[in-house]
Amino acid sequence: MITQAIILAGGLGTRLRSAVPDLPKCMAPVAGKPFVSYVIDYFQLQGINEFIFALGYKSEIIIDYIHEQYPNLKAAFSIEQELLGTGGAIRLACRQATHENVLVLNGDTIFKIDLQRLGNFHLSSSADCTLSLKPMKDFDRYGVVELDGNNRISNFKEKQHYNSGLINGGVYALNVKAILNEALPDKFSFEKEYLESLYTSRKIFGQIQDGYFIDIGIPSDYDQAQKDFQTAITG
């Protein structure tokens, strides 16, 4: 069972500036609460009891919020002194991990996966990394991920219009030692320089999960999140 998570929360949110000036992207208010609170709350319910927050831009805002609103949360903070990319941020945070495998989440995305199912698959496959994949229809904002018959990643396809396909939902089960042992630079993209460059030579798998998914990185989806979470709160 995976019980420790890294939340990537260092983003500047440049595409959201018109809607949310001067806040880290994960702190954008959604239905009265910072978006990251929904991520924390959901994954606590799924069994995560330790969080490592990978921070950068205005990290003190997030640290203060966690201390005030989650005083009993077992939380650690990994702070980039310069932009390291998603890969560098994950590796820096992994140095604080105390478990063999961790969950990696994006603070500006919520994908309601079944963590026990993901964890069981990842561990039974002895995977280096297992991606949670979301089936989508009629989209052009994301690339497509393809699997072979054993659920191993067989291809990453570029962003373009697709009638249907599996997208990378940004929720990963990750073997800590595997990523720390890679000969990668301090600054790198987890998606491009780890997943897309090494999937043919590493044990990188995908598991289809079809729960609720939203990424608030652009204003239209941020507006949709306001509606979705307000409805959830009011019933």
Mean pLDDT of 205-222: 94
Instruction: Tell me the H-state helices in the chain.
Output: 35-45, 59-69, 85-94, 115-124, 176-180, 196-198, 219-234
* pLDDT at res. 219: 87
Exposure of 172 in the CB half-sphere (CA atoms within 13 A)? 23
pLDDT tens digit string along 139-193?
Answer: 999 999 999 999 999 999 999 999 999 999 999 999 999 999 999 999 999 999 9
In sequence order, the β-bridge partners of residue 73 are: none
Crossing angle of the two packed helices 59-69 and 35-45, in degrees rounded to 10: 50
Domains and CATH numbers, the chain: 4-234 (3.90.550.10)
* pLDDT at res. 233: 59
Write out the two tokens for 125: 């496959």
Write out the two tokens for 22: 């001067």
* pLDDT at res. 18: 63
Separation CA 111–CA 211 (nearest Å): 6
Q: State yes or no: pLDDT of 67 exceeds 80.
A: yes
Give pTM, 2 decimals: 0.94
Confidence band, pLDDT 50/70/90 cuts, at residue 23: confident
